[in-house]
Amino acid sequence: MAHLLTMNGLLQLVAYFLILAIFYIPIGNYMANVFSGKNTVLSPIFKPIEKSIYNLLSINPEKGMNWREYAITLLAFSFAGFVLLYLILLFQGLLPFNPQKFAGLSPHLAFNTAVSFITNTNWQSYGGESTLSYFSQMAGLCTQNFVSAAVGLSVLIALIRGLRGVETSDIGNFWADVTRANLYILLPLSLIVAILLGLSGVIQNFQNYLEITTLEGAKQTIAMGPVASQEAIKMLGTNGGGFFNVNSAHPFENPTPISNFIEVVSILLIPVALCQTYGVMVNDKKQGLAIIAAMVLIFAPLLIFCVTQEQAGNHVLTTLNIDQSVNSLQAGGNMEGKETRFGIVNSALWASATTAASNGSVNAMHDSFTPLGGLVPMVLMMFGEVVFGGVGSGLYGMLHFVIMTVFIAGLMVGRTPEYLGKKIQSYEMKMASLAVLVPSLFVLIGVSIALMTKAGQAGIFNNGAQGFSEVLYAFTSAANNNGSAFAGLGANSPFYNTLLGVCMLAGRYWIIIPTLALAGSLAGKKHIPISAGTLPTHTPLFVGILIGVIILVGVLTYAPSLALGPVVEHLHMIKE
């Protein structure tokens, strides 16, 4: 069977990257203007609303904050969001817009879900259509879809201000940043995407669930709900939580190849454009281009590898003939767990994009991918989801690697470690290293606890390497704030809901705090003019070193775990 990418598949991938390239500059420039406080095409509409919000909350948007003030405000804001969402989920049965009369969630599931959505992880240990009311979906989850994405954007902008600031403690105003992110960016883009999805067949209503009689005479319940509006921000905000249990594989969330293309473009739209935003705001567009180049050069080969592995299928099945004929069960590749309306290429593209972007939505069952095909989304998360990454969080995660690369490369060649005119010293390296290593620490500790305890073992439904991969994937997804799952793991238990929730919190806020500390440190530094000893950070050489550092950190951290999971499973498969 051919392992090569087909022409049809290649054209689909080219079209995808072409669309992203078209939107890269205009959306990137627009976001730079928004966060720089400049007027935009939407200012006449949203400026009065923005001022009203500040007046209502007695906020002075021009009053800057130091990094500690910014961090404390952000944490307090997120904690308030957690408490509100937790209470909504816990007392769901008493609240309106609950046509199915769903009861409130158990305390451990409400904790896990509230943590999941405030951290932009959107891990789901439940089936949405059989667990949550319309009120919980809209007022609870959809609200946090906007807010958590805006928080990620705000942290990134604070770090950018730190890089361009000179001998100041001011990294911006959190309230102004989070307000502008929602009003000018997330809200209008979500409105456009929601309309497009509605036109392509995604449902949007408040009807009671439908009871129908099948041709066999059985009764079946068809779930309804306001799906298109949540689907839009789910994608654009790199949230990923599905209205329905099977997420974007459900025909009401993602009915056609057209809706699929709109949604998968939306996943990377803002993360890609933020590289242009970064270049504009630091007054050096080449820096943004260098970062996007590094992202693409990591993402594209892994994506193609995933596609070709799925097109190759499982050779055990391709040589298994039921009647000794030449027909094979996987002649067209591995279609297990995939929707026929999307096919292999779009399923592999989605799996790669959703894990590269910290989105977590799925349109196919990752557990049914081939061992090496399933390794790709796992590896993209293990890189720290800095290859595009979540809205805001992906780019500030990548900037941690950039700072590490500047420091390492500068020392290797005897040049002063500098980045954008700022000396990179031990404090900056400590903060960047902490942000890079904390997620992997919680991944490995979480996996170890799950495998060594009876409570953890009780949720593993598959033996051997596959079961190990499912646990590894779950904690990798949680600690990196992705939210997708390999399936095959009974995660709706007090043990997993609590432990995964802790990993989500660590993967979000133990990264945000060092990032803001880094922003504060950089803002207080003097600007150093470029000299002969300055290492250029926009050249192909630097991009190559940056890619090497990202891959090296990921490989050194996770190679043993990957060897015990997908690699062993692949070896078992090919020896058959």
Return mean pLDDT, the chain: 91
Distance CA 230, CA 232 (A): 5
Distance CA 353, CA 226 (A): 25
Name the residue type at position 426. S
pLDDT tens digits for range 345-391: 999 999 999 999 999 999 999 888 998 999 999 999 999 889 999 99
From 105, 130, 141, 96, select the one nearest 222 (Cα to Cα). 130
Q: How confident is the model at residue 464, as a pLDDT?
A: 84
Strand partners, 364: 338
From 389, 359, 239, 366, select the one nearest 299 (Cα to Cα). 389
Mean pLDDT, residues 51-78 taken together: 95
Inter-CA distances, 359 with 145, 157, 319, 573, Å: 11, 20, 36, 30
How is the chain split into domains, by residue range?
A: 26-265
pLDDT tens digits for range 435-484: 999 999 999 999 999 999 999 999 998 888 888 999 999 999 999 999 88
β-pairing, 210-213 vs 219-222, is antiparallel
Inter-CA distances, 565 with 191, 385, 569, Å: 41, 20, 6
Strand partners, 222: 210
Measured in degrees and rounded to the nearest 5, phi and psi for residue 37 equal 80, 15
Q: How confident is the model at residue 570, as a pLDDT?
A: 81
pLDDT tens digits for range 23-39: 999 999 999 999 999 99
pTM higher than 0.95 for the full model? no
Mean pLDDT, residues 398-427 taken together: 89
The angle that helices 143-164 and 494-523 make with each other, rounded to 10 degrees, is 30
> Could you give the angle at the alpha carbon of 64 between the alpha carbons of 154 and 83, nearest 5°?
50
pLDDT higher than 70, residue 320: no
